Chain A
């Protein structure tokens, strides 16, 4: 299953990403790549700068320096919306959905964005068969179709996590950037999501930020470890598990 980063084409190539907040270097020259077919996990203690990294790659936060190449193009100057249209699908650490919308409307909005059809002013969106069909297909894939009429404010936390993934799928992504998709899930929910995430890599490579180490070691082809804004190791799960620096800096602390 594990992809060899040597052979598979590189989809996302981040070099030397640096970002400071005041005196704190949240990301210090972080370099990381993502190749076709892999799940690349980014782990590290709280406050290590993982979300900062994702936000910069997705275009929600401007880096101080460094380059981001996506499918061979330099996307450093593009807005978050432009990157999303190129197929960069992110989920948020804290569920970030449209609360007053139904599940279906949330998924439709994503398709609207991908198709570039947000500037249509007259036809009612609710009666757009094509858009509905596309949206329901994505909901089906994550097992949410039966809940498509519910308002987001009324569905469970676990269902919101799934909806985030459905929205990412709607973008027909070339890469997934998943920021702690398991956060707050119970064991049952986690197990289900692990299965779903596992299947995502066939659609597009996944950059997975996650605290649940069982999930990380079950899913990841490669793991990078971020501590205090610096990348201290990148490698296959076995190598990371036995890496002394990593054990001392991170794993050793949380998993004695």
Chain B
């Protein structure tokens, strides 16, 4: 199978499951596919830095979570009618998905800029530990900050609105998520093939060479990191709309690890890889979870086998081409 064919298969599968859910009148299938699309989108964000840029960020839960809290807090204020802040400018909440997405993207990008400009000064093991630690800092902050539910999280009761659509209808919401996913993947596909993409791919492989032709590696990595944070934050906002609930668990380091697993299971540096990875993960969760409550034990063993013996992931395996391991 060529990479293009493998991608098509992933898209078709992602569309087929909710369709089957509609026909069989099993709406939970639609919700499951929506979850896959959103988690996959978070992985698309991480893939940009991990797969293309070779930066092992173990803190992407931070961006997923901040996107989630943007959605939760704005919707909460819209619902309660309290202004978000009264000074220096009066700002209220909103239930408009478009506005929420934009704010989530901006907040994710800003947070990534802040964390990236510190952590990208280091490499290797340091970078991994630092991204993890900063994500943990925000996790603890949300737990200890009581205004938005603290440890218990914040429910938002109704989905936010978009063009007057019935967003509570599972299929409608799935289609919204799907369209967002396709747009983001299209944009990412342009970015990775652009001038910038060439430089980013080069930085991963040989930073000294990139410097020697006059391109500052730090700047390239930081821009990729910021884009990545923005995408993962957008996914976080969608995730909260799906569940109508945001809690600190979105920010826990298990979430960071899971997002990374989506990317690896799917195959690094492949556009639709994270979707395939998220699909496999959710599938395992459902199937193994119905057989044993200790399904994570088996997922752990499987992951070890995949990393040690099948480094190309699903997309690498099906398209018969080995990708770099990073």
Contacts and interface: CB of A to CB of B under 8 A. Distances in A.
A189 interface: no
Interface string A187-207: 000000000000000000000
Contacts, number: 108
B202 A101 contact: yes
A212 B101 CA distance: 62
A23 interface: no
A21 interface: no
Interface string B167-193: 000000000000000000000001101
B208 A97 contact: no
Contacts of A124: 190, 193-194
A37 B202 CA distance: 33
Contacts of A113: 210, 213-215
B206 A99 contact: yes
A108 B194 contact: no
B201 A80 contact: no
Contacts of A58: 212
Contacts of A133: none
Contacts of B215: 81, 109, 112-113, 118
A119 to B, nearest CB: 6
B214 A171 contact: yes
A125 B198 contact: yes
Interface residues of A, number: 41
A84 B209 CA distance: 11
B229 interface: no
B205 interface: yes
B211 A123 contact: no
Given A121-B191, A124-B193, A125-B197, A170 B213 contact: yes
B29 interface: no
B205 A98 contact: yes
A239 B248 CA distance: 75
B268 to A, nearest CB: 13
A43 interface: no
A120 B196 contact: yes
Interchain residue pairs A-B with the least CB separation, the first 7: A113-B213, A84-B214, A113-B214, A85-B214, A120-B195, A80-B211, A81-B216
Interface of B: 190-191, 193-199, 201-202, 205-206, 208-217, 220, 223, 324
Interface of A: 58-60, 79-82, 84-85, 89-90, 92, 96-101, 105, 108-110, 112-114, 116-126, 128, 131, 167, 170-171
Given A92-B209, A114-B214, 4 more contacts: A99-B206, A109-B202, A112-B195, A124-B190
